[in-house]
A = this chain, B = another copy of it.
């Protein structure tokens, strides 16, 4: 069965998903596209050929009986109504991170999903599908090296635009480590602290960066995350997991090494598509396959909610100048057990 997908949000991320579904992945086709900018939606619909429809709202696209499943790539702040709409229509939805920008909205989504009685929402945390992160998780889960004691993360970007704010260090950037650490340790994050760092002169006037976030999980695992978005040299996602008897870390995806006047060196990735192209493909393919089999895969609404709750605590710590803040979580519904 070929899964008929409708895309809501025809910006860069949305078009990148279209491109992989049409040209690289198996088992799905695009039958509709929606965007507040109807022309953008029409352009996407035309690009996929066939008789794909274009809509000006997510609601119309969700209502299209020809749409089996919905892919949402709009801004996080407007996700909620479309996610709930898809749930109420009984359609599977893959929604880009964050699930929503407030814990309240995430709870509303979970309530709708529980009400519907079926897990339909997958949040687009693609790192869970990265080969290297999975190799580390396999070592952790294998237990051969004992329990995890600490994790050191580095989220480094070559630069960010003027529009990038201090708040985004946490809710747009660190949110990836927040989800990945919950997934890798299998524990909730219970408290968080933000540490200031001598400010980079590469950062624009209103951006206070880099920062270091320090998280603690239920069992006391200490996790730090250096968020450093002006480090010139590239997009470098580093993660070292310290177990009792060993430490494991992500490589740089070293395809090749060059030995020249600069030394013996490997290239750095330059952006998230460069680094996570394979993970994005694996994520969307696994979603397509799951939908075709009428099952759920990937991050759930609870995962989206928990990540947002940790973000809220981190933002509170940032506003309070770095005090330690407890993460407030509602009790986990059995539905998500």
Contact = CB atoms under 8 A, between A and B. Distances in A.
A252 B264 contact: yes
B214 A232 contact: no
Contacts of A146: 200-202
Range for the number of chain A residues in contact with chain B: 35 or more
Contact of A266 (B26, B148, B234, B251): B251
A224 interface: yes
A25 interface: yes
Nearest to A245: B232
B224 A224 contact: yes
Contacts of A65: none
A263 B266 contact: yes
B232 A261 contact: yes
B256 A233 contact: no
A177 to B, nearest CB: 16
Contacts of A25: 24, 26
Interface stretch (A78-86, A101-109, A215-223, A296-304): A215-223
A147 interface: yes
A132 interface: yes
Contact of A195 (B222, B262, B265, B285): B222
A122 interface: no
A128 B22 CA distance: 24
Given A150-B226, A222-B212, A257-B249, A266 B264 contact: yes
B246 A251 contact: no
A264 to B, nearest CB: 5
- Considering residues A152, A250, A254, which has the most beta carbons from chain B within 10 angstroms of its beta carbon? A254
A246 B260 contact: yes
A255 interface: yes
A244 B201 contact: yes
A263 B265 contact: yes
A215 to B, nearest CB: 11
A6 interface: no
A67 interface: no
Interface of A: 21-27, 131-132, 135-136, 139, 145-150, 152, 195-202, 210, 212, 214, 219-222, 224, 226, 228, 230-234, 236, 242, 244-268, 278, 285, 289
